[in-house]
C-alpha cells in the first residue's frame, strides 16, 4: 500500500532540497528529471472540474465523492462523469481557451530547457485540453508534440465527450486513469533525483516513485497528514528559485540569459 511504500519518507516538511527519503544508499545526483501534474498545478484551476461544472449533469459531484472516499479509482470516475457531459466543440474550446496557467510556469519550463532537465507532464486530465493550453502558453518541443505527455485521451463526438486511457503501462492497483507511479518508474529508471510537482489527491500515488516533492493544496495536506516530507509552493517561481539554489550557476552552455 502507499503508506508502506512511503514509510521512509515520513518526517516534517523538508527544510533542504536534498532528497528526503532514506537516500543514504543512493548515488549522488546525476541527471535530474521532473514530472508534473497538469490540472490545478500548471493551470490555476482544474480544467476537468470546470468542464463538469459547466456542461455535466449535477450528479457528477456524487461520483466525485465516491472517488474521494476511495470507493472507485479515477479511471472509473472519469468514465462515468464524462458520460454526463453534453457540450459542442465550440463550447468546449471556449472554456479551455479561458483557462489561465500558473504565472511562473513558462519561465520554469524555459529554465529546465536551458539546463537540459527533462520535463514530463503526467495527468489524469485530457490530452485535448493539455496540448491546447500548452500551445497557447508558448510551450514547444517534446512536451507540445506529446512525447513527454502522459495523460488520458479525449474524443469529441458531436456534443458528447468520450475518454480513453492509453497510459496504463501495467494494471494499476489503484484504478488510476493515468498510472503516474508506473510511468515515472518506466521513464526514469536510474535517474536521480526524480522531482514530482502536484496539487491534488490524484497525485498521491506518484509520491512512492519520487525523491523530491513539491506540493500544494490537497497534496500538501495529504503529505502533512501522512508525515511525508515535501516542499510547499505557491507558484512555479518558488520551485525555479529553489532549484536554482540547489543546482548552482549554469554552465556556459546553459547561460541563463538565453531564451
Name the burial class of residue 91, with classes exposed (0-12), middle (13-18) and buried (19+) by CB atoms within 10 angstroms of its CB. middle
Domains of the chain and any CATH numbers: 2-15+30-45+101-156+163-251 (3.40.50.1000)
Q: CA of 94: how far to CAs of 54, 87, 98, 200, in Å?
A: 12, 11, 6, 25
Q: CA of 85: how far to CAs of 44, 48, 49, 99, 103, in Å?
A: 22, 11, 11, 19, 30
Indicate whether 7 pLDDT > 50: no
Considering the entire predicted model, what is its pTM? 0.87
pLDDT, tens digit, 9 for 90 and up, residues 49-107: 999 999 999 999 999 999 999 999 999 999 999 999 999 999 999 999 999 999 999 99
Indicate whether 144 pLDDT > 70: yes
pLDDT, tens digit, 9 for 90 and up, residues 160-204: 999 999 976 566 889 999 999 999 999 988 788 999 999 999 999
Q: How far apart are CA 127 and CA 24, in angstroms?
A: 38
Cell match 507558484: residue?
235
Q: 250: pLDDT confidence band, cut at 50, 70 and 90?
A: confident
Q: How far apart are CA 93 and CA 54, in angstroms?
A: 13
pLDDT at 24: 34
Q: Which of 249, 141, 125 is nearest to 199 (CA)?
A: 125
Instruction: Identify the bridge partners of residue 155 per DSSP, sorted by sequence position.
Output: 162
Alpha helices in 40-82 (DSSP H): 47-55, 60-68, 74-82
Amino acid at each position: 500500500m502507499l503508506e508502506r511504500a512511503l514509510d521512509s519518507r515520513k518526517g516534517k516538511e523538508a527544510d533542504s532540497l536534498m532528497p528526503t527519503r532514506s537516500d543514504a544508499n543512493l548515488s549522488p545526483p546525476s541527471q535530474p528529471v521532473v514530472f508534473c501534474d497538469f490540472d490545478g498545478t500548471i493551470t490555476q484551476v482544474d480544467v476537468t472540474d470546470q468542464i463538469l461544472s459547466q456542461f455535466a449533469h449535477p450528479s457528477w459531484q456524487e461520483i466525485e465523492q465516491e472517488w474521494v472516499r476511495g470507493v472507485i479509482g479515477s479511471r472509473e470516475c472519469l468514465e462515468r462523469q464524462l458520460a454526463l457531459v453534453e457540450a459542442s466543440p465550440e463550447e468546449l474550446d471556449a472554456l479551455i481557451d479561458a483557462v489561465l496557467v500558473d504565472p511562473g510556469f513558462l519561465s520554469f519550463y524555459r529554465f529546465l530547457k536551458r539546463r537540459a532537465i527533462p520535463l514530463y507532464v503526467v495527468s489524469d486530465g485530457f490530452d485535448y485540453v493539455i496540448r491546447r493550453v500548452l500551445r497557447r502558453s508558448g510551450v514547444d518541443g517534446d512536451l507540445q508534440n506529446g512525447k513527454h505527455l502522459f495523460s488520458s485521451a479525449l474524443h469529441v463526438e458531436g456534443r458528447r465527450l468520450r475518454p480513453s486511457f492509453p497510459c496504463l503501462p501495467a494494471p494499476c492497483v489503484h484504478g488510476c486513469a493515468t498510472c503516474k507511479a508506473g510511468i515515472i518508474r518506466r521513464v526514469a529508471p536510474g535517474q536521480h533525483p526524480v522531482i514530482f510537482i502536484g496539487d491534488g489527491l490524484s497525485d498521491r500515488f506518484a509520491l512512492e516513485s519520487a525523491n523530491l516533492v513539491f506540493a500544494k493544496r490537497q497534496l500538501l495536506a495529504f503529505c502533512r497528514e501522512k508525515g511525508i516530507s515535501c516542499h510547499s509552493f505557491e507558484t512555479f517561481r518558488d520551485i525555479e528559485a529553489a532549484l536554482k539554489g540547489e543546482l548552482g550557476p549554469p554552465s556556459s552552455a546553459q547561460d541563463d540569459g538565453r531564451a
